[in-house]
Amino acid sequence: MALNQEQVQWIAHLGRLELKQEELASSAKHLSAILEYINLLQQVDTSDVLPLTHAIDMANVFRPDELKPSLGVQDALANAPDRKGDLFGVPPVLD
Amino acid sequence: MAVIDELSLTEQTASALLALQESKKATAEEITRAFLREIEARDSEIKSFLLVNAEHALEQARRVDQKRARGEPLGVLAGIPIAIKDNICTKGTRTTCGSKILEKFIPPYDAHVMEKLGQADAVVLGKTNLDEFAMGSSTENSAYQTSRNPWDKERVPGGSSGGSAAAVAASFAPIALGSDTGGSIRQPAGLCGIVGMKPTYGRVSRYGLVAYASSLDQIGAFSHDVADTALLLKVIAGHDSRDSTSAPLPVADYLLSLDQPVKDLTVGVAKEYFSSGLDSEVEKAVRQALKVLESAGAKVKEISLPYSPYAIATYYLVATAEASSNLARYDGVHYGHRSSSHANLIDMYCKSRGEGFGAEVKRRIMLGTYALSSGYIDAYYLKALKVRRLIRSDFDKAFAECDVVVGPTSPTCAFKVGEKSSDPLAMYLSDIYTISCNLAGLPGISIPCGFNSQNLPIGLQFLGAPFSEEKLLRAARMYEKATAWHLARPKSK
């Protein structure tokens, strides 16, 4: 199915991406072409097939609930784009 | 093609460099200096490294020499230089993932594989170029540079681990680490004329590998020959409690058994891997390789992987869905780029991500977001997961009849820089033979099997059943032993 620019704008917003006008146009074109190709899958009869999320058998892994040292505050904050003391700085969340 | 009679120091394999140190013909420092000189002299043309840490490498090398002089026990990669794909976290050393969003990111911890390399006394030269967040097949999606194929600098080295592949092919490092989500080790190895292996999903811990598609990603090795890949795999493989998908299975000594041919080896040849789109020179080289395997005692058997034509479509839904979730962490809060102007929190997320990510990463986030969105998840994401099961059962049936599946790694040799960069779908289709392996969680290896008329390398892919690395390596070695392609090196001038 073909996507128009309005739909792409909505998907970009869901993915928290701001796109420039020219990116909107090229994304609509490329995503439509890719989705058209992907429609190939509709040919496959999967009525009795279960989804496979991991190719190798996976089991839940548990560990003892023990206190262990973790990343220190200074290390954790070292890459922060905005730091306020020992906290991450963010724009206001509530008006 | 250019098989060199005498290899220079930097054209040697890691195994040969280990022997030179043991026989006191070269020190780790001399070896490291030689590779650093090559990088200094020629990487401006190849553009394989994003960062070279010469001082740190020489320091590590000298430590190995001192340990050796004192007679202390040494790790299995003692004094061996290695290049690391820049999506593997290195404590204190910038890790960009080829993205502007991580331009200033300095990991506060080492990936599991980096700890393993440290214990093995390897010498880390630096970080190599990749398509942004490992999304691509040519390194053209890197935010920093496009790496070049050492066999023809007008052409791409493949991707996404193109920097690591080019570095080994150009003799800037004897071995390298990469990651493979849909072919990102095997395809560049094939296009650069070297060996590249993606282990079984879960064989190597992904702790510290920056996530692209978590159910497909796996770290693996690049080298000039199968023995060095066996050596490196043994170092990095094994269980790690910090990756709950890492397999609690023992690791074999892959190098020890490598030269034992697989008795009654049955090679499966999938007819779907020789369909339209396969370059005739690549096909000829692969057919010839199958004859070589027969001469080495293998039985060649035609098999069918009927769902393989659906692998690319399946991959681009599964991988992008996982990527859209994984890359949500780049929010401009904890690390990474934050836009300087924003109206509110949501606007800050959107602008930071809009400025920080490149076109292909945005495209895949959007595709994955769409595939997971309300109203479309059944038709796209769940449909893809069901076809994924069918692809996996194709291989289960195949491995009931044969030990390994052998075919071309890529449908063509290395393409020119710019040839496919404006058509994402054409780029995706170049991964046709490598993608199923990740969907099915299998181990796969690409080894050199010849050159086309333009002297461009051709890759031969071997796929095995899950956790059959030992047999897979031995089968690949049977071919390598009967040929000399792995001894070829590109001319450095």
> Whole-number mean pLDDT of chain A?
93
How much is the pLDDT for B4?
44
State whether residue A13 sits within 8 Å of chain B by CB: yes
Interface contact A51-B388, CB threshold 8 A: yes
At B21-74, the pLDDT tens digits run 999 999 999 999 999 999 999 999 999 999 999 999 999 999 999 999 999 999
Note the CATH number of domain B9-272+283-304+393-487: 3.90.1300.10
How much is the pLDDT for B124?
98
State whether residue A87 sits within 8 Å of chain B by CB: no
Of B336, B345, B362, the CB nearest to A90: B345
Of A14, A26, A38, the CB nearest to B313: A38
**CA-to-CA distance for B460 and B286, rounded, in angstroms?**
7
Catalytic (active site) residue B246: no
Mean pLDDT for B356-370 is 98
Write out the two tokens for B119.
């214990």
How much is the pLDDT for A93?
84
Local structure of residue B353 (DSSP, 8 states):
H
How much is the pLDDT for B105?
98
Catalytic (active site) residue B137: no
Q: Is the pLDDT of residue B465 over 90?
A: yes
At B106-143, the pLDDT tens digits run 999 999 999 999 999 999 999 999 999 999 999 999 99
pLDDT-derived band at B1 (thresholds 50, 70, 90) equals: very low
Mean pLDDT for A63-91 is 94
Catalytic (active site) residue B160: yes
**CA-to-CA distance for A35 and A42, rounded, in angstroms?**
11
Maximum C-alpha span of chain B: 70
How much is the pLDDT for B3?
44
Q: Is B145 left (phi over 0), alpha (psi -120 to 50) or beta?
A: beta
Indicate which of A26, A27, A39, A41 best probes the interface with B, i.e. most B CBs within 10 Å of its own CB: A41
Write out the two tokens for B220.
């693996």
Mean pLDDT for B386-411 is 98
Local structure of residue B278 (DSSP, 8 states):
-
At A23-35, the pLDDT tens digits run 999 999 999 999 9
The interface residues of chain A toward chain B in range 44-73, judged by CB-CB distance below 8 A, are: 44, 46, 49-56, 58, 61, 63, 71
Residue pair B353/A17 in contact by the 8 Å Cβ criterion: yes
- Write down the catalytic residue from B184, B246, B410, B430: B184
Q: What percent of chain B stands above pLDDT 70? A: 99
Of A16, A44, A76, the CB nearest to B349: A16
Query: Which region among B1-5, B48-52, B233-237, B283-287 has the lowest average model confidence (pLDDT)?
Result: B1-5
How much is the pLDDT for B493?
59
| Closest Cα in chain B to A48 | B386
State whether residue A38 sits within 8 Å of chain B by CB: yes
Q: Is the dihedral of CA B27, B31, B36, B37 positive or negative?
A: positive
> Whole-number mean pLDDT of chain B?
96
Q: Name which of B153, B28, B5 is nearest B78 in CA terms.
A: B28
At B151-163, the pLDDT tens digits run 999 999 999 999 9
